[in-house]
Amino acid sequence: MITEELEDILIERILQRQIKANEKILKAIGKVLGEIGDINPSEAYKIGQMLKYGESLDKIVKILAETSQLTELEIYEMLEKEAKMNLGFSKKYFKAKKIDFIPYEKNIALQNKVKEIAIATLNTYRNISKTTGITYLDKYKNVVTKPLKQAYSEIVDDALYNISMGKETYYEALKRQLSVIGQHGIQSIEYESGYHRRIDSALMMNLQDGLNELNMAQQQIVGEQFGADGVEIGVHEFPAPDHSLVQGRIFSNEEFKKLQEVGIGVDYKGKVIDIHNKYGSFRPIGTMNCYHEIYSIVLGIDEPRYTQEELNEINLRNTKGFEYEGKHYTLYQGTQAQRKMELEMRKCYEEELIYKSALENIKSEDEISKIYKTDKIKKRLEQIKEREKQLTLKYDDFSKVSGLPTRWERTRNLIK
């Protein structure tokens, strides 16, 4: 099976491209707001039309289109690569059953399933891309999230109106928007519900769901081809509490079906496994952000890949965890805390990007006014950098104390 580390690499490569596109969009918005500068009321309409329908918006649309084309190609390649690598795991079961192994190039059923899941994953991705939005402050000072073109137009209109009418200074208008836009990043909106989240988070979940679905479907298809009568659950170091006892265990097909349908099943050694959480609900294995893979096997051919002692050691390490600033963390809780810090650092990084872009494009007929505005933005940048520095130090210290691996690529764009 594909390793968790390699799976992360495949997802991260696609994710980083989207993050880079997001940053370009933030810079373009910062540039526009920086260019508004001092305007005369008579010029407001003309400048507004230029900014709303000119080069900046065209550039943003082009960035999204190019990113989408590259990502769509790579999503299919990622899923096909996973299918080919996973297929090798099943060779020994074909051999044990004295059935000819079917390589990927000749396995039409598997190829068709890869195409089916790739299309579904791509369609979800296209919906994510088409519903790109921005979170900003509307004219009533409410934080709202709207589709890209509508949000872009309203941001420009609001800034121009308030400045030209003398309702607020240029710096007030700038700071009011840049902090909100930078903190929230580029969003993906579900039109029917209005629910929205960061587009990089939506994309990561989409890719992980695609890989999980492929893994489940492939194991079923190939398992039927060699006559599988059981499954083995994969293992990883920092399992969530509800799935900590199920990893590494073997189930007959019938018991695993029960586990997935009602949350309770009996493993091959007769132990009752309950995956209900403390709230009484349960997540089927391999779904809803579960990273456990499922292996189709032939019962009795070989022993589980992990002994019970090894599984106990993993669970004990996870539970034992570590202490940080007077609080106890399991290793799983530690990884969740890391993800939150990574997100906060990325917010600082993106807010810094949009402020820098505005700073580089400040225009003013009055040199004194320009210096005043520049100094104000520089002070805000210093505050953002200081917060980012403090977060970075804490993240680094937290990771060293816990011994957990770092994910610096999630805190800033590493694509050159």
SS3 assignment for 209-261? HHHHHHHHHHHHHHHHHHCCCEEEECCCCCCCHHHCCCCCCEEEHHHHHHHHH
Q: How many CA atoms within 13 Å lie on the side-chain side of 63? A: 22
Mean pLDDT of 24-32: 76
Give Rg (Cα) of the chain.
Answer: 26
pLDDT in tens, 55-67: 555 666 666 666 7
Q: What DSSP line would sit under 30-66, residue for residue?
A: HHHHHHH-S--HHHHHHHHHHHHHSHHHHHHHHHHHH
Going by pLDDT thresholds of 50, 70 and 90, the confidence category of residue 252 is: very high
Q: Has residue 41 got a pLDDT over 60?
A: no
Q: Has residue 74 got a pLDDT over 50?
A: yes
Dist CA 88 CA 65 (whole Å): 36
Going by pLDDT thresholds of 50, 70 and 90, the confidence category of residue 395 is: very high
Predicted local confidence at residue 414, as pLDDT: 43
Percent of the chain with pLDDT strictly greater than 70: 79
Q: Has residue 376 got a pLDDT over 80?
A: no
Q: Has residue 52 got a pLDDT over 60?
A: no
For the chain, what is the mean pLDDT? 79
Q: Please, what is the Cα angle at 203 between 200 and 209, to 5 degrees? A: 140
Q: Which of 80-94, 122-136, 213-227, 261-275 has the highest mean pLDDT?
A: 261-275
Predicted local confidence at residue 257, as pLDDT: 92
Q: Which residue has the higher pLDDT, 239 or 71?
A: 239
Predicted local confidence at residue 256, as pLDDT: 93
Mean pLDDT of 81-88: 82
Dihedral sign computed on CA atoms, order 406, 407, 413, 416: positive
Predicted local confidence at residue 53, as pLDDT: 46
Name the least confident of 43-57, 107-121, 179-193: 43-57
Two structure tokens written together for 105: 């190039």
Mean pLDDT of 271-277: 91
Predicted local confidence at residue 27, as pLDDT: 76
Question: 355 and 384 in contact (C-beta within 8 Å)?
Answer: yes
pLDDT in tens, 136-155: 777 777 888 887 777 777 77
Predicted local confidence at residue 399, as pLDDT: 95
Q: What is the pTM of this model?
A: 0.73
Residue from 340, 318, 316, 313 nearest 329 by CA: 318
Q: Which residue has the higher pLDDT, 346 or 365?
A: 346
Mean pLDDT of 95-107: 88
pLDDT in tens, 276-328: 988 889 999 888 778 888 888 888 887 788 888 999 999 999 999 999 999 99
Mean pLDDT of 391-401: 95
Percent of the chain with pLDDT strictly greater than 90: 20
Q: Has residue 3 got a pLDDT over 50?
A: no
Q: Has residue 416 got a pLDDT over 60?
A: no
Residue from 288, 14, 212, 30 nearest 129 by CA: 14
Name the least confident of 46-50, 68-72, 188-192, 381-385: 46-50
